[in-house]
């Protein structure tokens, strides 16, 4: 039997199903609520020393809101298991309706804490999950406390009913090359079933028959030969389409280049900034950018300037709390509001430019005037660096991230002022569709393949080509083969992919 998943991350994994179950044994409980709380408190106290996630869990466990809600349900005649589950539901639904970023971010933590209490009540909690080698972990939903209790080297795939590709488990799993199939009807899977997870096709085979096995094996061989690396750029209908990698650190750059990337289409610098409490110095930044540039050789390294803001806050940036952070001071707006810090970054990038083919990418551009202001700052930096006798790239290309509706409609004016365009599909989709990408209530609307987004992409590419510059795309959607076909038809000049394994696959797709 083959079950389709709603979403998945790439890769293959097979093994015996290992079901993580929550305490759902109706009414049977082996310890009291007080004992369960005490045991969880002890476990979390130890874990919280090393990990802030568990410090937050400990705070929730000890918050009277949770214990009061449980007591209320117990008084209403529910058994302890039901009371914890009901209290959890109450708190989650209340938090989801309150306009407070902090509370909304705590929803998963509340669920995680309550679920562990329930498992303890039902007597099926274990501090470390003893997962047999080569298991496929099957669960309703996987939380940070689950992955912390697993030996991930024994997990060959995850299969869940809930969750999204941006959830914690997917990030952890992808970084270890473990495929995740999401949105799967896990009622069809029993503990110990033989499973084969094909993350590339979004399929889970349950106890496959001989026939299904040989078909799967064939498909896998085809897929594996498809991962052969192609170093040279490929053409689509006589037109070179570069396949770049996205990166957040020097290691990512190395992985992408090893997979045959034509360069780096988006080097995110937030990671560089989020590492420390202090704003990283020019030297610290320069060393990172220089190392990345050296790894790229003569291929482009596109460094996106600080795109902090929105939901990410930095201790050294005194940003006012905003009612609508995604419509607030973020991207280039934040850069221009903090010219002192921005210039430190620009100086570091300009200097790294003398070690390779470095390009500057300006995030969240709304008007061409913003580009003018960035260029004034770049010229100031160049003047300072010359006066100091430091080497830098005097003709560094500057590009604009096109991800706001304004930059679609004012695209011609912006295109006249930059050397290239890069479409950020994640934010473009969010702003065009007016749908928060983290809000599952509008996830149907958050669709990069919607005709509205596709039309916007066509306008952006046309704007760029009329001005004689190139338009590329970076964002998760570029990894979707169907969407990639559309982009190629629309005349896109480059695709920048987050998953290095997709680089050879995409090059082959373009050539075909």
Q: Largest alpha-carbon pair distance within the chain?
A: 78
CB 360 within 8 A of CB 382: no
Query: Using CA atoms, how far apart are residues 500 and 247, in angstroms rounded to an integer?
Result: 10
Q: What angle do CA 40, 43, 44 make, to 5 degrees?
A: 85
Nearest distance in Å: CB 349, another protein: 32
Q: How many residues form the binding site for another protein (CB under 8 A)?
A: 18
Query: At 214, which helix (H) or strand (E)?
Result: helix 210-225
Q: Which residues are catalytic, by number?
A: 168, 474
Options 25, 63, 215, 405; binder of another protein; rule CB under 8 A: 63
CB 265 within 8 A of CB 494: yes
Nearest distance in Å: CB 98, another protein: 6
Binding to another protein in span 368-427, by CB under 8 A: none
Considering only the stretches 57-65, 191-199, 374-382, 441-449, report the one whose residues sit in contact with another protein under the rule CB under 8 A: 57-65
Nearest distance in Å: CB 324, another protein: 13
Nearest distance in Å: CB 95, another protein: 7
Contact between 311 and another protein (CB under 8 A)?
no
CB 41 within 8 A of CB 249: no
DSSP state, 321?
P
Nearest distance in Å: CB 275, another protein: 22
Binding to another protein in span 314-373, by CB under 8 A: 320-321
Options 53, 84, 87, 91; binder of another protein; rule CB under 8 A: 91
Options 68, 151, 228, 372; binder of another protein; rule CB under 8 A: 68
Of 66 and 346, nearer to another protein (C-beta) is 66
Beta strands in 187-291 (DSSP E): 194-198, 203-206, 234-236, 239-247, 264-268
Of 96 and 443, nearer to another protein (C-beta) is 96
Nearest-CA neighbor of 386 among 394, 377, 395? 394
Contact between 65 and another protein (CB under 8 A)?
yes
- Per DSSP, what are the bridge partners of residue 206? 195
Considering only the stretches 96-104, 141-149, 267-275, 301-309, report the one whose residues sit in contact with another protein under the rule CB under 8 A: 96-104
Contact between 482 and another protein (CB under 8 A)?
no
Query: Using CA atoms, how far apart are residues 492 and 200, in angstroms rounded to an integer?
Result: 24
Q: Taking each helix axis as running N to C, give the angle between helix 33-48 and helix 80-96, from 0 to 180 degrees, rounded to the nearest 10.
A: 50
Of 66 and 433, nearer to another protein (C-beta) is 66
Query: Using CA atoms, how far apart are residues 235 and 508, in angstroms rounded to an integer?
Result: 10
Binding to another protein in span 97-116, by CB under 8 A: 98-100, 102-103, 106
Considering only the stretches 6-14, 90-98, 185-193, 361-369, report the one whose residues sit in contact with another protein under the rule CB under 8 A: 90-98
Contact between 64 and another protein (CB under 8 A)?
yes
Query: Using CA atoms, how far apart are residues 373 and 376, in angstroms rounded to an integer?
Result: 5
Tell me how long the chain is: 512
**CB under 8 Å to 448, separation ≥6 — which residues?**
425, 426, 428, 429, 475, 476, 477, 480, 483
Query: Using CA atoms, how far apart are residues 154 and 259, in angstroms rounded to an integer?
Result: 26
Nearest-CA neighbor of 301 among 345, 261, 270, 344? 261
Of 98 and 188, nearer to another protein (C-beta) is 98
Query: Using CA atoms, how far apart are residues 133 and 76, in angstroms rounded to an integer?
Result: 44
Nearest distance in Å: CB 44, another protein: 16
Of 321 and 389, nearer to another protein (C-beta) is 321
Nearest distance in Å: CB 102, another protein: 4
Contact between 95 and another protein (CB under 8 A)?
yes
Site residues (vs another protein, CB under 8 A): 59-60, 63-66, 68, 91, 94-95, 98-100, 102-103, 106, 320-321
């Amino acid at each position: 039997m083959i079950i389709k998943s709603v979403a998945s991350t790439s890769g293959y994994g097979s093994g015996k199903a290992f079901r993580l179950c929550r305490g759902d044994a109706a009414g049977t409980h082996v310890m009291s609520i007080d004992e369960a709380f005490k045991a969880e408190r002890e476990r979390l106290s130890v874990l919280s020393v090393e990990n802030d996630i568990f410090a937050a869990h400990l705070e929730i466990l000890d918050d009277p809101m949770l214990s009061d809600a449980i007591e209320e349900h117990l008084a209403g005649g529910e058994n302890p298991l039901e009371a914890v589950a009901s209290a959890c539901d109450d708190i989650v639904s209340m938090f989801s309706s309150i306009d407070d970023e902090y509370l909304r971010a705590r929803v998963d933590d509340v669920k995680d804490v309550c679920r562990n209490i329930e498992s303890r009540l039902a007597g099926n909690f274990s501090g470390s999950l003893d997962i047999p080698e080569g298991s496929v972990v099957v669960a309703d939903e996987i939380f940070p406390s689950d992955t912390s209790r697993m030996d991930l080297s024994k997990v060959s795939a995850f299969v869940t009913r809930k969750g999204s590709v941006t959830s914690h488990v997917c990030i952890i799993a992808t970084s270890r090359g473990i495929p995740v199939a999401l949105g799967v009807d896990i009622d069809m899977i029993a503990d110990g079933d033989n499973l084969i997870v094909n993350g590339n096709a979004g399929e889970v085979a349950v106890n496959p028959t001989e026939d299904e096995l040989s078909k799967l094996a064939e498909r896998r061989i085809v897929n594996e030969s498809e991962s052969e690396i192609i170093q040279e750029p490929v053409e689509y209908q006589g037109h070179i389409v570069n396949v770049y990698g996205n990166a957040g650190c020097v290691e990512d750059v190395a992985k992408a280049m090893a997979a045959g990337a034509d360069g780096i289409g988006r080097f995110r610098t937030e990671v560089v900034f989020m590492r420390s409490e202090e704003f990283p110095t020019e030297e610290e930044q320069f060393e990172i950018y220089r190392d990345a540039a050296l790894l790229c050789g003569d291929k482009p390294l596109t460094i996106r300037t600080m795109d902090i803001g929105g939901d990410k806050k930095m201790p050294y940036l005194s940003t006012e709390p905003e009612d609508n952070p995604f419509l607030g001071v973020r991207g280039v707006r934040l850069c221009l509001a903090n010219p002192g810090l921005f210039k430190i970054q620009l100086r570091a990038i300009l200097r790294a430019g003398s070690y390779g083919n470095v390009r500057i990418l300006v995030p969240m551009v709304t008007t061409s005037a913003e580009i003018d202001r960035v260029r004034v700052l770049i010229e100031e930096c160049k003047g300072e660096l010359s006066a100091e006798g430091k080497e830098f790239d005097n003709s560094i290309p500057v590009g604009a991230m096109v991800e706001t509706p304004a930059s679609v409609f004012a695209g011609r004016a912006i295109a006249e002022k930059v050397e290239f365009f890069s479409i950020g599909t994640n934010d473009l989709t969010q702003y065009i569709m007016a749908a928060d990408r983290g809000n599952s209530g509008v996830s149907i609307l958050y669709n990069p393949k919607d005709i509205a987004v596709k039309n916007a992409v066509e306008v952006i590419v046309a704007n760029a080509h009329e001005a004689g510059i190139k338009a590329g795309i970076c964002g998760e959607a570029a990894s979707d083969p169907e969407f990639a076909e559309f982009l190629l038809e629309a005349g896109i000049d480059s695709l920048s992919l987050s998953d290095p394994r997709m680089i050879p696959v995409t090059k082959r797709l373009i050539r075909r």
